[in-house]
């Protein structure tokens, strides 16, 4: 598939079929992740893969369970969101947080080595590890799209991070950037429209 086709096909999907992702396909997608640029050339990236419901339930705990479609509108108003596309996106997403992780074809927990505290960076370079793993994650999402597989990322909260590290026995010098839920999308899945942006409005020549 042409790279531009994969880029335009990739969209966030939160409702999946029960169909599993074949191991060879998963390896191919994750290997595409490993081709991403990296700050230190070493790609200390590991992927913990959860496929069965019991391990996913154990890992996810109560993530996102407190938010329902009934209180979504109140939340979106409370957050002061006014952009139509942005509101639509949150209204669609809010109630699906738990199910999207649980019902994914596979739930991936990417890990990256981070020697110093991520939350107390000395300078921008201190965040290189985080920046690099997100390049890897985008490669994974694009390669997945080329295979007809889509997904969604969710950032763990402080407590969720600790839970993830404990349950999965992640080494202390590794961090988890996100939950990465992948799967074959439900037939009728809604792909929301992105907020339209004219690239020429965002291009600045010589100065802002």
Ligand X SMILES: Cc1cc2nc3c(=O)[nH]c(=O)nc-3n(C[C@H](O)[C@H](O)[C@H](O)COP(=O)(O)O)c2cc1C
Binding site for ligand X (CB under 6 A): 11-12, 14, 89, 93, 97, 152-155, 194
Q: How far is the CB of 197 from ligand X (least distance, A)?
A: 12
Q: How far is the CB of 3 from ligand X (least distance, A)?
A: 17
Nearer to ligand X by Cβ, of 11 and 28: the residue is 11
Tokens in use for 91? 């209204």
Tokens in use for 204? 């600045």
As a dihedral over the C-alpha atoms of residue 17, residue 23, residue 27, residue 33, rounded to 10 degrees, the angle is 20
Angle (CA) 95-194-80 rounded to 5° is 55
- Where are the strands (E) in 79-206, listed by range? 106-113, 150-154, 174-175, 179-183
Nearer to ligand X by Cβ, of 27 and 121: the residue is 121
Q: How far is the CB of 155 from ligand X (least distance, A)?
A: 5
Tokens in use for 196? 């339209």
CA dist 181 and 151 (Å) reads 5
Q: How far is the CB of 169 from ligand X (least distance, A)?
A: 24
Tokens in use for 16? 């999946």
Nearer to ligand X by Cβ, of 27 and 148: the residue is 148
Q: Residue 50's Cα: distance from chain center in Å?
A: 15
Nearer to ligand X by Cβ, of 14 and 165: the residue is 14
Q: At what angle do helices 53-60 and 158-168 cross, to 10 degrees?
A: 140
Nearer to ligand X by Cβ, of 25 and 86: the residue is 86
Q: How far is the CB of 80 from ligand X (least distance, A)?
A: 17
Report the DSSP beta bridge partners of residue 150: 183
């Amino acid at each position: 598939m042409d790279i531009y086709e994969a880029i335009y096909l990739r969209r966030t999907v939160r409702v999946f079929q029960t169909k599993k992702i074949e191991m060879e396909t998963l390896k191919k997608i994750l290997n595409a992740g490993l081709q991403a640029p990296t700050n230190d050339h070493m790609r200390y990236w590991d992927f913990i893969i959860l496929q069965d419901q019991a391990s996913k339930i154990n890992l996810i705990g109560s993530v996102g369970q407190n938010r329902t479609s009934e209180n979504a509108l109140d939340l979106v108003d409370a957050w002061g969101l006014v952009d139509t596309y942005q509101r639509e996106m949150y209204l669609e997403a809010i109630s699906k947080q738990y199910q999207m992780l649980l019902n994914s074809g596979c739930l991936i927990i990417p890990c990256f080595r981070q020697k110093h505290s991520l939350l107390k960076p000395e300078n921008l370079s201190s965040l290189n590890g985080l920046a690099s793993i997100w390049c890897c994650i985008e490669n994974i999402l694009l390669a997945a799209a080329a295979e007809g597989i889509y997904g969604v990322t969710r950032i763990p909260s402080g407590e969720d991070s600790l839970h993830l590290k404990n349950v999965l026995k992640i080494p202390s010098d590794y961090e988890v950037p996100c939950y990465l839920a992948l799967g074959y999308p439900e037939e009728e899945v809604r792909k929301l429209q992105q907020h339209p942006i004219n690239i020429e409005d965002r291009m600045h020549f010589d100065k802002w």
